[in-house]
Amino acid sequence: MSNQTIIFEQPVNELIRVCLRVEHLLQLAENSLRGSNLHETRGTMSALTDILSLTERPDLRGKFIKEFLRQSANLQRFLNEPHIDQTKLTTALKSLEQIIELLQKNSGKFGAKLRDNDFLISIRQHLGMPGGTCSFDTPSFYYWLKQPGKERHAKLVEWLTELEDLFQVVDEMLQLVRHSGQAIMHTAHSGFYQTSLDPQMSCQLIRVAVPNDITAFPEISVGRHGVSVRFYHPTLRERGVAYEKDVPFWLTCCIL
């Protein structure tokens, strides 16, 4: 299905929102890291500093631990249940145990060493300004960009490695959440669909998969009691115009 559709995701809570943004920034960083010219280096640096800013909260590690412990407790209820694949369940529980140990091994913010790096602190301050990393704003950064590509690449890899535990945690969280729901086909009549959610269930993420050949995109709204999906015509000049035809799509409510 994924090869023939465009998947849109809507986080339902702050922790999943952070995970999706970190995943997005890591993809940008890794893509830029494949090149060696100074503009690609700037792209990787921009993504790296955005990740540091996004994960600035000192309680983020604790929130991850709390959520993984909750998920582990929920899964443990299914141990010895005959209708549950015990091999897969045991594997999932072991993976959760390992990720919790990884989180508990350290304390404080992710990438603590990077946050104390004066060179990176200066770049972070200037990247928030339009054109803030011109040579006259950050001469040390400009000098570094003029160094051989191999040297810059090695240093970027080193810095990203300092965030490896964060990337592992985010990957584990998103894998668990994305696989916790089943995609069900629906039809948005005249471009609109709405359904209720059980307020007693912990919905983490809404996923909407739209066939590639439909020239419309969804705006997803999630409330405590329901989900609504409104489709719009894409336009690059003004706000999207409501799509008035019926739209078949797959909806996944990821509840964990």
CATH at residue 200: 2.60.440.10
Instruction: Report the chain's mean pLDDT, rounded to a whole number.
Output: 92
Residues 109 and 136 in one domain: yes
Question: Which pLDDT does position 1 carry in this prediction?
Answer: 55
β-sheet bridge partners, residue 210: 6
Tokens 């301050």 belong to 125
Question: Which pLDDT does position 127 carry in this prediction?
Answer: 84
- Work out the pLDDT band at 75, boundaries 50, 70, 90: confident
- Work out the pLDDT band at 2, boundaries 50, 70, 90: low
Cβ 8 vs Cβ 200: under 8 Å: no
Asked which of 115, 148, 176 is the last residue of a domain, the reply is: 176
The dihedral built from the CA positions of residue 159, 148, 122 and 132, taken in this order, carries a sign that is negative
Residues 233 and 246 in one domain: yes
Burial class (CB in 10 A: 0-12, 13-18, 19+), 148: exposed
The tally of domains found in the chain comes to 2
- Write out the residue range of the structural domain in which residue 76 sits: 14-176
Residues 103 and 24 in one domain: yes
- Work out the pLDDT band at 188, boundaries 50, 70, 90: very high
Residues 192 and 155 in one domain: no
